[in-house]
């Protein structure tokens, strides 16, 4: 190891590289204690100002927020509190109310959207041979765990006779209008699978207490919202009818996997090895959860391998342990046992000139196992995981990455923390001498920096090269990589943190530093195409303080699924063309433009413009506006 490497990274033992899983996977009691401390603050930070009744159309559901467009054409975001979003943000602080939002979601959707692993209830006339008197017209989706069974009030003595039956079954398959259900055998019906003929016009009935299946275009039949003095809105109750067309019902990857492997047992099993293409999983968890975890690990493997364009040669060994008592006499090192008991995880590695091997030891927490598996991937591919800030930031990225999803999509707790905490400076995040396992807050900031640099096209290519160099212990550093553009990267980091939240797209919000602006003077005109899906976009015009400029636009764009608008946007101002001045990496106050008009510059600087929309909702926008700008002619 060179002297420079020692200065940058500190002395490291190549034969023993270990990492603990923290960050967004703040697990078990650690997360519980942190949340209880946070919630010990007063429940209401701002006085309730008013209650209102709301009806309209859903425009978006994301990260504890649902946006509703009313008959006036205005759309507003409303927070909700339920089992998946246990807190709301009031006056900049996490707040947990005693009562969750009362939610009811109903509707009848096409039967073809039924998915393997779903639990459904079917009422029909059935005989003991498994035949129905007529085709099935409806089935009701049952959310949550339930035991498959067939209830018959008065079983007939003749097997071919029909009886009124209520079937609770798990979907095995739906093909050619036949629904295959897994059921529990009984004295009357002795098989564990049932095949039902389904009518072509059959529907799947939804009636649940979660907004997880709600999509843009669904109808808000009624809702009661509380508005606080801060202007924030929270739903006390909401009733939604599923009316919008949709391609699928299940949105979350974890639910999709649990459905896919629902035919497997969820009972814990003795210590054994389960294998996939790239992993050997030593575990005592259930067969179902083992297959879910292996599917997540393989997905992570493909995404991380695609990012680095490199993969380990050898299988990655992972110990994911539910009960250490099941592992008496097994070769689990003391350090691995200690981490499992915390409960947490660790990756223990041995590296030589010819071979690198890493073994994961994790408690029964899939997020922790994924995080540690990223470390093992990097060790077996590059020989190390790099300095702490990079190692832990990328491990957090690896467990959050989802195929085809470029949005920020992380733990709500971590998202809330990053949105409200005092921002960490870049120098603090990449400082030398940090230790793994220090705090979940530190892991959160490392993730934020790595996500920005990996996702923003201004820095992604150099960041990837930097990461590989760091892990291969080549002569490279953050300062060498980004020192020449320190002002640009600091500016974009500040913008990222200021506008941060689940749904943010760093790639869409990247700044065009290559634009060559010119002073707008005389009769010179500037034309700019403004994309509704992007953040601030350069007009390539430099304006002068106190000078008046005229502009006009052509074209339409769309900021929600329900229709197009011109550059004036909606009556609430959403979708309107707005501008801002940038001078010496400092932003002025945004100002409204619209379809046509004039403005007087309140300062010198480069003019940037964008479609006014929530920073977390840009990805579903569409269309462009063409803008023509020039200095106002003197009379």
The CATH architecture to which 48-100+216-241 belongs is Beta Barrel (2.40)
The pLDDT score that the predictor gives to residue 2 is 32
Q: Which residue has the higher pLDDT, 635 or 220?
A: 220
Respond yes or no on whether the N-terminal peptide bond of residue 343 is cis (omega within 30° of 0). Answer: yes
Report the SS3 class of residue 229. Answer: coil
**pLDDT at position 10 over 50:** no
The pLDDT score that the predictor gives to residue 414 is 86
**pLDDT at position 70 over 70:** yes
The pLDDT score that the predictor gives to residue 138 is 96
- Taking residue 257's Cβ as centre, other Cβ atoms within 10 Å add up to 22
**pLDDT at position 24 over 80:** no
Alpha carbons 17 and 382: distance in angstroms, whole number:
13
Residues 6 or more apart in contact with residue 295 via CB below 8 angstroms: 257, 260, 261, 276
pLDDT band at 60 (very low <50, low <70, confident <90, very high): confident
**pLDDT at position 31 over 90:** no
Residues 6 or more apart in contact with residue 44 via CB below 8 angstroms: 90, 95
Domain range 257-385, CATH class: alpha beta
The pLDDT score that the predictor gives to residue 89 is 77
**pLDDT at position 509 over 80:** yes
Q: Which residue has the higher pLDDT, 232 or 180?
A: 180
The pLDDT score that the predictor gives to residue 48 is 67
Question: What are the residue boundaries of the structural domains of the chain, listed by start?
Answer: 48-100+216-241, 114-208, 257-385, 392-509, 518-631
The pLDDT score that the predictor gives to residue 354 is 87
pLDDT band at 83 (very low <50, low <70, confident <90, very high): confident
**pLDDT at position 3 over 50:** no
Composition of the chain by helix, strand, coil, percent to 5: 25, 30, 40
**pLDDT at position 117 over 80:** yes
The pLDDT score that the predictor gives to residue 561 is 66
Q: What angle do CA 81, 413, 492 make, to 5 degrees?
A: 120
pLDDT band at 571 (very low <50, low <70, confident <90, very high): confident
Residues in the chain: 635
pLDDT band at 47 (very low <50, low <70, confident <90, very high): low
The pLDDT score that the predictor gives to residue 305 is 96
CA-nearest of 216, 211, 246, 217 to 113 is 246
Query: Checking DSSP bridges between strand 557-558 and strand 622-631, what pairing results, if any?
Result: antiparallel
Q: C-alpha 76: how far from its chain's center?
A: 21
**pLDDT at position 545 over 80:** yes
Percent of the chain with pLDDT over 70: 92
Instruction: Label residue 7 exposed, middle or buried (CB < 10 Å: 0-12, 13-18, 19+).
Output: exposed
In this predicted model, what pLDDT tens digit does every residue of 305-326 receive, in sequence order?
A: 999 999 999 999 999 999 999 9
Mean pLDDT of the chain: 89
Alpha carbons 491 and 584: distance in angstroms, whole number:
10
CA-nearest of 507, 497, 503 to 417 is 497
**pLDDT average, residue stretch 279-287:** 97
**pLDDT average, residue stretch 98-112:** 95
Q: What is the CA radius of gyration of the chain?
A: 28
In this predicted model, what pLDDT tens digit does every residue of 131-184 receive, in sequence order?
A: 999 999 999 999 877 889 999 988 999 999 999 999 999 999 999 999 999 999
Domain range 518-631, CATH class: mainly beta
**pLDDT average, residue stretch 398-419:** 85
Query: Checking DSSP bridges between strand 48-62 and strand 178-182, what pairing results, if any?
Result: unpaired
pLDDT band at 562 (very low <50, low <70, confident <90, very high): low
CA dihedral sign, ordered 450, 454, 456, 462: positive
Alpha carbons 65 and 79: distance in angstroms, whole number:
5
Integer CA distances (angstroms), 454 to 193, 376, 406, 607, in order: 48, 20, 11, 27
Helix segments in 3-128, DSSP class H: 3-9, 28-39
**pLDDT at position 1 over 50:** no
In this predicted model, what pLDDT tens digit does every residue of 236-282 receive, in sequence order?
A: 999 999 999 999 888 788 888 888 898 888 899 999 999 999 999 99
**pLDDT average, residue stretch 109-132:** 94
pLDDT band at 451 (very low <50, low <70, confident <90, very high): very high
**pLDDT average, residue stretch 415-427:** 88
**pLDDT at position 431 over 50:** yes
**pLDDT at position 187 over 60:** yes
Residues 6 or more apart in contact with residue 324 via CB below 8 angstroms: 332, 337, 340, 341
**pLDDT at position 328 over 70:** yes
**pLDDT at position 375 over 80:** yes
**pLDDT average, residue stretch 55-81:** 86
């Amino acid at each position: 190891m060179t002297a420079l490497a020692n200065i940058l990274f500190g002395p490291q033992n190549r034969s023993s590289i270990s990492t603990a899983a923290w960050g967004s996977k703040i697990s078990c009691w650690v997360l519980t204690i942190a949340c209880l401390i946070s919630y010990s603050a007063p429940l209401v930070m701002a006085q309730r100002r008013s209650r209102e009744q709301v009806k309209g159309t859903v425009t978006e559901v994301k990260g504890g927020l649902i946006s509703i467009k009313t008959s006036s054409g205005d759309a507003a975001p409303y927070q909700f509190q339920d089992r998946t979003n246990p807190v709301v943000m009031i006056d900049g602080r996490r707040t947990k109310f005693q009562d969750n939002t009362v939610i009811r979601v109903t509707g009848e959707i096409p039967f073809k959207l039924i998915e393997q692993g779903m639990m459904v209830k079917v009422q029909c006339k059935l005989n003991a041979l498994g035949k129905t008197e007529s085709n099935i017209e409806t089935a009701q989706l049952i959310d949550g765990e339930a035991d498959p069974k067939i209830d018959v009030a008065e079983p007939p003595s003749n097997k071919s006779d029909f009886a009124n039956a209520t079937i609770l079954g798990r979907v095995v398959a739906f093909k050619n209008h036949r629904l295959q259900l897994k059921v529990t055998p009984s004295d009357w019906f002795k098989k564990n699978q049932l095949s039902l003929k389904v009518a072509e016009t059959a529907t799947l009935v939804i009636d649940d207490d979660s907004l997880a299946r709600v999509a843009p275009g669904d109808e808000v039949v009624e809702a009661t919202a509380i508005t606080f003095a801060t202007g924030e809105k929270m739903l006390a109750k909401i009733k939604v009818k599923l009316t919008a067309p949709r391609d699928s019902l299940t949105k979350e990857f974890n639910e999709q996997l649990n459905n896919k492997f629902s035919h497997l047992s969820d009972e814990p099993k003795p210590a054994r090895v389960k294998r996939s293409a790239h992993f050997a999983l030593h575990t005592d968890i259930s067969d179902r959860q083992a297959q879910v975890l292996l599917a997540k690990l393989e997905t992570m493997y493909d995404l991380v391998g695609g990012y680095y364009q490199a993969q380990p040669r050898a299988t990655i060994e992972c110990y994911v342990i539910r009960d250490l008592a099941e592992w008496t006499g097994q070769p689990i090192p003391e350090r691995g046992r200690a981490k499992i008991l915390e409960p947490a995880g660790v990756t223990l590695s041995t590296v030589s000139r010819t071979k690198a091997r890493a073994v994961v030891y994790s408690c029964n927490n899939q997020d922790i196992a994924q995080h540690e598996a990223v470390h093992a991937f990097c060790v077996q591919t590059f020989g190390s995981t790099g300095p702490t800030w990079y190692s832990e930031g990328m491990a957090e990225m690896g467990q959050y990455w989802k195929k085809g999803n470029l949005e920020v999509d992380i733990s709500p707790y971590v998202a809330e923390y990053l949105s409200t905490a005092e921002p960490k400076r870049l120098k603090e995040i990449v400082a030398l001498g940090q230790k793994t396992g220090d705090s979940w807050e530190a892991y959160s900031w490392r993730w934020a920096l790595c996500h920005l640099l990996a996702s923003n096209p201004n820095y992604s290519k150099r960041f990837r090269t930097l990461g590989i160099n760091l892990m291969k212990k080549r002569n490279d550093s953050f300062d060498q990589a980004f020192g020449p553009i320190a002002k640009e990267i600091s500016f974009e980091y500040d913008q990222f943190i200021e506008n941060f939240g689940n749904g943010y797209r760093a790639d869409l919000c990247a700044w065009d530093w290559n634009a060559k602006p010119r002073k707008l003077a005389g009769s010179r005109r500037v034309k700019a195409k403004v994309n509704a899906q992007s953040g601030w976009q350069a007009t390539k015009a430099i304006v002068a303080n106190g000078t008046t400029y005229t502009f006009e636009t052509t074209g339409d764009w769309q900021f929600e699924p329900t229709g197009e608008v011109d550059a004036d946007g909606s009556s609430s101002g959403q979708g309107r063309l707005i501008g801002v001045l940038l001078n010496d990496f400092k932003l002025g106050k945004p100002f409204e433009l619209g379809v046509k008009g004039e403005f007087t510059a309140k300062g010198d600087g480069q003019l940037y413009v964008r479609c006014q929309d929530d920073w977390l909702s840009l990805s579903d926008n569409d269309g462009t506006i063409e803008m023509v700008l020039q200095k106002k002619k003197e009379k």
